[in-house]
């Protein structure tokens, strides 16, 4: 079999799933609305359950809920028989996925929830199934054509279930007015966390700043530059940014200057600044474009001001690289 046949088979499977996923619109009905309301008003945790492939989907959706600040965990119905159901409390809600809805391992979890009046959102494709009969809110999945050659392997059905779970999550976070700033709190590491970093998150501040009064001389500026090791010195006048001197400026001018030279003679009077809420990735792009290693950070309200701008911090190229931004 040549490579074109492989690609054709893959495209055929993908096209089947793409067509079948359009049936998700049938799910967006009053039951879906009730499910969203129940989740939004939940005083406890959102507990997900499922067996087999549906269980894997449930784990993923639970992880998505947790990642946006909605307390959630996955409870394996098979393990629940051995004590795990003790994690589920009266204020929690159960969301259980099962395409057939008749998986035998679900029975005890459903009995436990019904006994303690724990609300159940059941997701299945058979209206007369064990799961939907025991559920307070019944989300009926449309029947779909699986994308494998036998038409039996869970493919389109698991994709549809995953899509439904993601739609539940995205609808809830939209109603909760979730933001990038909040998302960053739950993702301090990894590529997602790095992509959400702002200038204020990584800037150098306080005593680490290489600042000096604009009336000081070259010798004093050299001392500060050597102490702070950032390759720059910021000159301040009445606590406002007056100018900037880089180690490159000094290298170019040092043979023409004495240690008592007034710094104002060769400082950059209007150094480049960025606002504190600028994405760090954008700050890096500016550095690359301007071929510089540092940027001065100012408050958002002062960003467009031409005079009397206070320094908030400095972003140095080393800080960006430490966070994995490239």
Same domain, 147 and 211: no
What is the distance between the terminal CA atoms of the chain, rounded to a whole angstrom? 42
206 shares its domain with 311 = yes
| Closest by CA position to 281, among listed 198, 202, 221 | 198
Query: Does residue 183 fall inside a structural domain?
Result: no
Which residues, at least 6 apart from 160, have a Cβ–Cβ distance to it below 8 Å? 20, 21, 23, 24, 141, 142, 144
55 and 106 in a common domain: yes
Question: Which residue's structure tokens are 């619109």?
Answer: 25
Question: Phi and psi (nearest 5°) for 213?
Answer: -65, 140
| pLDDT at residue 188 in the model | 55
Measured CA to CA, the distance from residue 107 to residue 124 in angstroms comes to: 14
Could you tell me which residues come within 8 angstroms of residue 194 by beta carbon, excluding any fewer than 6 positions away?
A: 280, 281, 323, 324, 325
Kindly list the distances between the CA atom of residue 7 and the CA atoms of 2, 14, 18, 79, 197, in Å, as whole numbers in the listed order.
9, 10, 16, 40, 39
Record the pTM: 0.65
In this structure, is residue 311 part of a structural domain?
yes
Pick the last residue of a domain from 146, 178, 210.
178
Residue whose C-alpha is closest to residue 54's, from 136, 129, 112, 128: 129
Residue from 59, 66, 117, 52 nearest 88 by CA:
117
Which of 149, 178, 207 is where one domain is finished? 178
In a domain, 318, yes or no: yes
Mean pLDDT of the chain: 87
In a domain, 113, yes or no: yes
Reported confidence tier of residue 99, pLDDT bands at 50, 70, 90: very high
What's the CATH number where 39 sits?
3.40.50.10490
- Enumerate helices (H) and strands (E) in the chain, giving the number of each: 14, 11
In this structure, is residue 99 part of a structural domain? Answer: yes
Q: Are residues 153 and 22 in the same domain?
A: yes
- Is 261 or 74 the better-scoring residue by pLDDT? 74
Q: Is residue 218 located within the same domain as residue 260?
A: yes
Give the per-residue pLDDT at 282. 87
Same domain for 116 and 151?
A: yes
Helix (H) / strand (E) element for 223: namely: helix 218-228
**Spatial distance between the Cα atoms of 151 and 148, rounded to a whole number of angstroms:** 5
Confidence category of residue 180, pLDDT binned at 50, 70, 90: low
Cβ atoms within 10 Å, residue 39: 23
Of 116-125, 181-190, 268-277, the range with the lowest mean pLDDT is: 181-190
pLDDT in tens, 112-168: 899 889 999 999 999 999 999 999 999 999 999 999 999 999 999 999 999 999 999
Same-domain check for residues 128 and 31: yes
CB 197 within 8 A of CB 325: yes
Work out how many domains the chain is built from and give that number. Answer: 2
Phi and psi at residue 100, in whole multiples of 5°?
Answer: -80, -35
Specify if 57 maps to a domain.
yes
Tell me the average pLDDT across 224-245. 89
Let me know whether 117 and 210 are in one domain. Answer: no
Mean pLDDT of 258-281: 82
CA distance 214 to 239: 10
pLDDT band, residue 297 (cuts 50/70/90): very high
Diameter of the chain by CA atoms? Answer: 91
**Domain interval for residue 242:** 199-322
Residues 92 and 217 in one domain: no
Average pLDDT on 281-305 reads 87
Position 191 in a domain:
no
Is the pLDDT at 1 greater than 90, yes or no?
no
Q: What is the mean pLDDT of residues 185-199?
A: 62
Residue 94's Cβ-side half-sphere holds a number of Cα atoms within 13 Å equal to 33
Q: State the CATH number of the domain containing residue 230.
A: 3.10.580.10
Same domain, 172 and 35: yes
Domain shared by 28 and 147, yes or no: yes
Classify the phi-psi angles of 266: left when phi > 0, otherwise alpha if psi is within -120 to 50, otherwise beta: alpha
Where a domain ends, among 178, 211, 234?
178
Q: How far is CA 237 from the centre of its chain?
A: 40
pLDDT digit string, tens, across residues 209-224: 999 998 888 788 888 8
Q: What is the mean pLDDT of residues 189-195?
A: 57
pLDDT at 194: 59
Using 50, 70 and 90 to split pLDDT, how confident is the model at 254? low
In terms of domains, do 106 and 204 share one?
A: no
Query: Quick check: is 187 in a domain?
Result: no
Provide the pLDDT for residue 169.
94
pLDDT in tens, 31-52: 999 999 999 999 999 999 999 9
What local confidence, expressed as pLDDT, does residue 160 receive?
Answer: 97
Cβ atoms of 150 and 125 within 8 Å: the answer is: no
Give the relative orientation of helices 30-40 and 156-175 as an angle to the nearest 10 degrees: 50
């Amino acid at each position: 079999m040549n490579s074109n046949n492989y690609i054709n088979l893959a495209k055929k499977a993908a096209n089947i799933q793409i067509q079948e996923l359009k049936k998700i619109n049938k799910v967006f009905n009053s039951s879906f609305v009730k499910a969203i309301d129940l989740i939004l008003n939940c005083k406890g945790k959102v507990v997900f359950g499922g067996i087999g492939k549906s269980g894997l989907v449930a784990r993923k959706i639970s992880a998505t809920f947790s990642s946006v600040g909605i307390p959630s965990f996955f409870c394996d119905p098979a393990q629940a028989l051995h004590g795990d159901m003790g994690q589920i409390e009266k204020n929690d809600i159960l969301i259980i996925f099962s395409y057939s809805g008749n998986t035998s391992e679900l029975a005890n979890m459903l009995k436990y929830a019904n006994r303690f009046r724990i609300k159940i959102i059941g997701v299945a494709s058979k209206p007369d199934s064990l799961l939907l009969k025991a559920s307070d809110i019944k989300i009926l999945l449309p029947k779909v054509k699986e994308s494998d050659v036998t038409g039996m392997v869970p493919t389109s059905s698991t994709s549809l279930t995953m899509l439904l779970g993601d739609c539940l999550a995205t609808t809830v976070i939209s109603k909760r007015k979730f933001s990038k700033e909040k998302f960053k709190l739950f993702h301090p590491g990894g590529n997602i966390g790095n992509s959400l970093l702002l200038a204020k998150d990584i800037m150098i501040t306080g005593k680490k700043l290489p600042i000096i009064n604009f009336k000081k001389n070259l010798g004093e500026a050299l001392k500060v530059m050597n102490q702070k090791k950032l390759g720059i010195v910021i000159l301040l006048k009445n606590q406002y940014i007056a100018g900037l001197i880089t180690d490159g400026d000094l290298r170019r001018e040092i043979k023409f200057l004495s240690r008592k030279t007034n710094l104002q003679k060769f400082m950059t009077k209007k150094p480049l600044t960025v606002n504190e809420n600028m994405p760090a990735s954008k700050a890096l792009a500016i550095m690359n474009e301007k071929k510089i290693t540092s940027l001065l950070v100012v408050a958002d309200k002062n960003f467009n001001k031409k005079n009397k701008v206070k320094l908030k911090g400095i972003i140095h190229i080393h800080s960006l690289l430490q966070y994995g931004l490239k």
